Amino acid sequence: MFGLITKVSQWSIPLILILILAAAHKNKVRIYEVFVQGALEGLRTTFRLTPYILAIFVAIGLFRSSGALNLCINIAKPLLDLLRIPPDLLTLALLKPLSGSAALGITADLLQKYGPDSTMGLIASLAQGCSETTFYVLSLYLGSVNIREGRHTLLMGLTSEMAAFFMAISLGSFLFG
């Protein structure tokens, strides 16, 4: 099973490329020229995105390294004990909307600490797998087209994140507990 999945993920990108190139060749598209034009547009987009990336990296860096994140977790701890949510999982839930790589690091730590096939390791895996980096995606996506009013989208993303998180805990305890 695992071998098959590794194969699928290794093959998907080359296959997509071959499919697109073959279709382009068949329809007599001037592949190289069209590609270069698209790539230029892509570079312009990234250039516009850099300030947003900068803003997120600095804010999250400060929030984490200063210990403010840990403080939040300690404050929330009594409530968590009441809901029977392990504090380690809260770190993951709080970090995931902010930074994908940081959350991945935490998940890797949790897997080391509890074992990947323990209940806790499996729940952490589910929580990691079901969520998106809400702040990052939103500021990138809205920033790239200069939308200033996000309206309800941030709240929407966080709601769906929270729903998935609680579902991960309950389904995880049910399936692997």
Partner 1 sequence: MINTVWLLLLISGIITAAVTGKIALVSEVIFVNTSKAIEFSIGLAGTIAFWSGILKVAEAAGVTAQIAKLFRPFLNKLFPALTGHTKVLGTIALALSANLLGLGNVATPLGLETMAQLQKLNPNKDRVSKEIATFLALILGGLTVLPSTLIAIRAQAGSKNPAIIIIPVFLISLFGTFVGLIFNQLAYRVLIWHHRKE
Stretch 101-140 residues interacting with partner 1 (CB under 8 A): 104, 107-108, 111-112, 115-117, 121-122, 125-126, 128-132, 134-135, 137-140
Q: Which is nearer to partner 1, 80 or 171 (by Cβ)?
A: 171
**Which residue of 26, 75, 78, 177 would you call a contact of partner 1, by CB under 8 A?**
26
Stretch that binds partner 1, among 75-83, 86-94, 155-163 (CB under 8 A): 155-163
Q: Which is nearer to partner 1, 79 or 156 (by Cβ)?
A: 156
Calculate the dihedral angle through the C-alpha atoms of 24, 29, 31, 33, rounding to the nearest 10 degrees: -160
Q: How far is the CB of 33 from partner 1 (least distance, A)?
A: 10
Both tokens of 91, joined, read: 């770190």
* Residue in the structure block whose two tokens are 């093959």: 11
Q: Residues 58-77: x/- map of binding to partner 1 (CB under 8 A)?
A: xxxxxx-xxxx--x------
DSSP state of 171: H
Q: How far is the CB of 91 from partner 1 (least distance, A)?
A: 16
84 counts as binding partner 1 under rule CB under 8 A: no
Cα angle 94, 100, 101 (rounded to 5 degrees) comes to 115
Q: Which is nearer to partner 1, 37 or 81 (by Cβ)?
A: 37
Q: Which is nearer to partner 1, 28 or 84 (by Cβ)?
A: 28
Burial (CB < 10 A; 0-12, 13-18, 19+), residue 110, is: buried
Q: How many CB atoms lie within 10 A of CB 67?
A: 10
Q: Which is nearer to partner 1, 49 or 80 (by Cβ)?
A: 49
Q: How far is the CB of 90 from partner 1 (least distance, A)?
A: 17
- Rounded distance, CA 69 to CA 56, Å? 15
- Rounded distance, CA 94 to CA 135, Å? 11
**Which residue of 14, 41, 78, 177 would you call a contact of partner 1, by CB under 8 A?**
41
- Rounded distance, CA 174 to CA 177, Å? 6
